Amino acid sequence: MAVTLRGRLATSQFGAMEANSSRELEARNYLEKHRIMELLTYLASALLFFRPEKPREYLISILERLRTAKVSGVAFPFFMDNSNIAAMFQMLDSSNKGSISFIQYKEALKTLGLCTADEVLKDDGHGITCEKFMCEVNKKTQEIWSAF
């Protein structure tokens, strides 16, 4: 649901801007550079999942933690830890063969909000194993968080 939220936010913002295309390009670059959409998706997902009594204070606390984590290099407050990733892999690999297909892998990354629909990922033809899945998910999450 957070993904549809993000889609609606993006279209409503860009629909509202009637400025010439260089401003629009500037705005898009800004969003990309600071990974704003991923951050907002994460914030919205956290809000809807934990449903705190006071949403603004909760959001402020997450952002404060992010700010200190960035400065001091302490671990980021990840949304999913390793046991969650392993559980997700098991759900995908329903027949227990030990690896998932490339299409499943791409869909899973999209659901987690870790890659956009048109990003090209290499397909090495061997299927993705559990360790590789965990490793890729962690790497991508790190990449995103390091931009904040």
Partner 1 sequence: MDATTAPHRIPPEMPQYGEANHVFELMQNMLEQLLIQQPEDPIPFMIEHLQRDNDYVPKIVILGPPASGKTTIAMWLRKHLNSNLLSVESLMAKEYSSLAADARTRYQKFQTLPDMLLVRLVQERLREEDCVRRGWILDGIPETREQALLIQTLGVSPRHVIVLSAPDTVLIERNLGKRIDPQTGEIYHTTFDWPPESEIQNRLIAPAGISEGETARRLLEYHRNIVRILPSYPKIVKVITADQPCVDVFYQALTYVQTIHRSNAPFTPRVLLCGPVGSGKSLQAALLAEKYGLVNVCCGQLLKEAMADKSKYGEMIRPFFEKETAGPSYIIMKVLRQLLDQQDCAERGWVLHGFPRDRDQACLMDSMGYKPNRVFFLNVPFDSIIERLTLRRTDPVTGERSHLMYKPPPTMEIQARLLQSPKDSEEQIRLRTELFYRNSAELQEFYGQAITLNGDQDPYTVFEYIESGIINPLPKKVP
Which positions lie near partner 1, rule CB under 8 A?
1, 4-5, 8-9, 12-13, 17, 19, 26-27, 30-31, 34, 36, 39-40, 43-44, 47-49, 51, 55-56, 59-60, 63-64, 66-67, 70, 91-92, 94, 104, 107-108, 111, 148
Minimum distance from residue 139 beta carbon to partner 1 (Å): 19
The backbone torsions φ and ψ at residue 96, rounded to the nearest 5 degrees and listed phi first, read 60, 35
Beta-carbon-side half-sphere exposure of residue 148 (alpha carbons within 13 Å): 23
Dihedral in degrees, nearest 10, Cα atoms 146, 60, 51, 8: -60
Minimum distance from residue 9 beta carbon to partner 1 (Å): 6
Minimum distance from residue 114 beta carbon to partner 1 (Å): 13
Contact 140, 114 (CB under 8 A): yes
Nearer to partner 1, 39 or 137 (CB): 39
